[in-house]
Amino acid sequence: MKRQERYRVRNSPLTRNLLRPPGHSLQNKLSEVQTDILSEVMVMLFIPVLALSGYFCFREISDTKDNVTVIFLASFLVFGFLTYRSWVLLKAFNKKKHLILGLQGELFTGEELNQLMLEGCDSPRLSDSGGPEFLRR
């Protein structure tokens, strides 16, 4: 019984204290934003087709063949919807640009830190007063 409890509580040494590479969380966010952009583009392509098919269905059902008011109203609604979705898409592209810049900065910083570690630099040791040693000199 005790053995089973220890086995359940025991952590694998392969997953303990793992460090993520630089930019890991930004890459995840960038992937989500790219998915959002793709879905916005698909919606923007689908809505005019849906509105046109709705108009043709209305035209077949109704007695009047060409109702200018319905055409104008449908066109106005589709244009308004596409304008709003374009604004959302523009915000998503802006967010993607900022995430890419942040990712590049994190990757550059990680590479610089790797170069410093290769040259033998070590992290500053913390003193008893709570600050790095090189600040006390």
pLDDT of 5-47, one tens digit each?
A: 655 666 655 555 657 788 888 999 999 999 999 999 999 999 9
Q: Which residues face 132 on adjacent strands?
A: 126
Q: What is the dihedral of CA 44, 48, 53, 58, to 10 degrees?
A: 130
* Residue at token pair 């830190």: 113
Per-residue model confidence as pLDDT tens digits over 68-125: 887 888 889 999 999 999 999 999 999 999 999 999 999 999 888 888 878 777 665 5
Q: Rounded to two decimals, what is the model's pTM? A: 0.67
φ, ψ for residue 126, nearest 5 deg: -85, 135
Please tell me the distance from the alpha carbon of residue 137 to that of residue 132, in angstroms, as a whole number. Answer: 10
